[in-house]
């Protein structure tokens, strides 16, 4: 590891960045250095601009990837190298806000029925029941399941926040069945080694496999279960503010997107044309009498 790379890793650790962010930033900066065959310490603003144009024009990277690269370059130049001017004023594209894919209750049932492994059924049911991110599910420890208070504790989630979500009665039954079979000691869902938890990639693979077995045409991922949970809560009368707290969203604007995908919410909206017609009809009836 080069001294610059080591210094950048240490700076990220001082910021208490998640290990996934550390790996991502280091990888993006390494690819930037490899493109020019030089250390970022010997590259400047025009090199950053040229590389980003290469990603947009030649590689046609997704907006999310562009943001990752830009964030990594800003970190290494602003924090590690102390050269803020190198990346100052670099344009950021406006990312289109797309509505999330949501499963119906019947599709969720078919999805769970297609899961043949008790362990993965427990993992993905936990994700759906609590509206959890896959990173939060795999990081759960046995002690995070509080059966007395019927709560699940989520420790140091996104933006290093703790929160609690309700523990569904049916989920508790599934988790107890899984615990009796697996006897996990530390992490609730341990990996194949002696220590550590199951990987997100393993859960994603199991999710895709169950999707195909269930015959679902939608592009389902573990995050789809989180979206589906939020939407189903909204459709069953849970207010948006409560859903925000359950999901761990910092802004209510993020949670409000589920108002646009909730079928029941949209169906209950009365068109102003119907209101106008009803008022006109009422007025006509009054005149006639």
- Which residues, in sequence order, are bridge partners of residue 190? 197
Q: What is the mean pLDDT of residues 230-245?
A: 86
The answer to whether position 56 is within a domain reads yes
Do 112 and 175 sit in the same domain of this protein?
Answer: yes
45, 49, 141, 249: which is the annotated catalytic residue? 249
Number of domains forming the structure of the chain: 2
Contact 220, 103 (CB under 8 A): yes
**Which pair of tokens denotes residue 54?**
């290469």
Lowest mean pLDDT among 9-18, 167-176, 233-242: 233-242
133, 197, 227, 232: which is the annotated catalytic residue? 133
Compute the distance between CA of residue 126 and CA of residue 107 in angstroms, rounded to an integer. 17
Do 48 and 153 sit in the same domain of this protein?
Answer: no
Query: Of 125, 133, 139, 135, whose CA–CA distance to 254 is shortest?
Result: 133
The answer to whether position 282 is within a domain reads no
Do 38 and 117 sit in the same domain of this protein?
Answer: no
Domain span at 249: 105-266
Q: Tell if the pTM clears 0.75, that is, is over it.
A: no
119, 226, 227, 232: which is the annotated catalytic residue? 226
Indicate if 212 belongs to the active site: no
* Whether pLDDT at 88 is above 60: yes
The answer to whether position 185 is within a domain reads yes
Indicate if 42 belongs to the active site: no
Neighbours of 265 (CB within 10 A): 15
Mean pLDDT of the chain: 87
Neighbours of 51 (CB within 10 A): 18
Indicate if 158 belongs to the active site: yes
Contact 219, 110 (CB under 8 A): no
Contact 203, 134 (CB under 8 A): yes
pLDDT for the residue 48: 96
Do 142 and 226 sit in the same domain of this protein?
Answer: yes
Residue owning tokens 């995070």: 144
* Whether pLDDT at 149 is above 90: yes
Compute the distance between CA of residue 124 and CA of residue 131 in angstroms, rounded to an integer. 10
Indicate if 133 belongs to the active site: yes
End-to-end CA distance of the chain: 89
Q: What is the mean pLDDT of residues 155-175?
A: 84
Do 142 and 66 sit in the same domain of this protein?
Answer: no
51, 77, 120, 258: which is the annotated catalytic residue? 258
CATH code of the domain containing 46: 1.10.150.130
Indicate if 232 belongs to the active site: no
pLDDT for the residue 275: 66
Indicate if 258 belongs to the active site: yes
pLDDT for the residue 268: 66
Compute the distance between CA of residue 280 and CA of residue 289 in angstroms, rounded to an integer. 15
Contact 255, 243 (CB under 8 A): yes
5, 9, 153, 158: which is the annotated catalytic residue? 158
Q: What is the mean pLDDT of residues 229-234?
A: 88
pLDDT tens for 201-230 read 999 999 999 999 999 988 888 999 999 998
CATH code of the domain containing 207: 1.10.443.10
Do 118 and 234 sit in the same domain of this protein?
Answer: yes
């Amino acid at each position: 590891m080069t001294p610059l790379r080591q210094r950048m890793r240490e700076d990220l650790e001082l910021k208490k960045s998640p290990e996934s962010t550390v790996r991502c930033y280091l990888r993006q900066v390494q690819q930037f250095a490899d493109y020019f065959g030089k250390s970022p310490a010997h590259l400047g603003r025009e090199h950053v601009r040229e590389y980003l144009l290469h990603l947009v024009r030649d590689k046609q990277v997704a907006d999310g990837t562009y943001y990752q690269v830009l964030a990594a370059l800003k970190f290494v130049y602003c924090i590690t190298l102390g050269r803020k001017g190198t990346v100052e004023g670099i344009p950021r594209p406006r990312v289109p806000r797309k509505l999330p894919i949501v499963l119906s209750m019947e599709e969720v049932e078919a999805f769970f029925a297609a899961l043949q492994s008790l362990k993965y059924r427990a993992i993905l049911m936990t994700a759906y029941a609590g509206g959890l991110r896959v990173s939060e599910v795999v990081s759960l420890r046995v002690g995070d399941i509080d059966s007395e208070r019927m709560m699940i504790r989520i420790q140091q989630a996104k933006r290093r926040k703790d929160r609690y979500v309700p523990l569904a009665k049916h989920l508790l039954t599934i988790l107890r069945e899984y615990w009796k079979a697996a006897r996990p000691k530390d992490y609730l869902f341990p990996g194949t080694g002696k220590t550590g938890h199951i990987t997100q990639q393993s859960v994603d693979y199991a999710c895709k496999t169950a999707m195909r077995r269930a015959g679902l045409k939608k592009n389902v991922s573990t995050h789809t279960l989180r979206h589906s949970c939020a939407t189903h809560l909204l459709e069953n009368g849970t207010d948006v503010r409560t859903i925000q707290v359950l999901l761990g969203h910092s802004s209510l604007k993020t949670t409000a997107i589920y108002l646009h995908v909730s079928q029941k919410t949209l169906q209950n909206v009365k068109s102003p044309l119907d209101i106008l017609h009803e008022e006109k009809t009422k007025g006509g009836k009054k005149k006639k009498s």
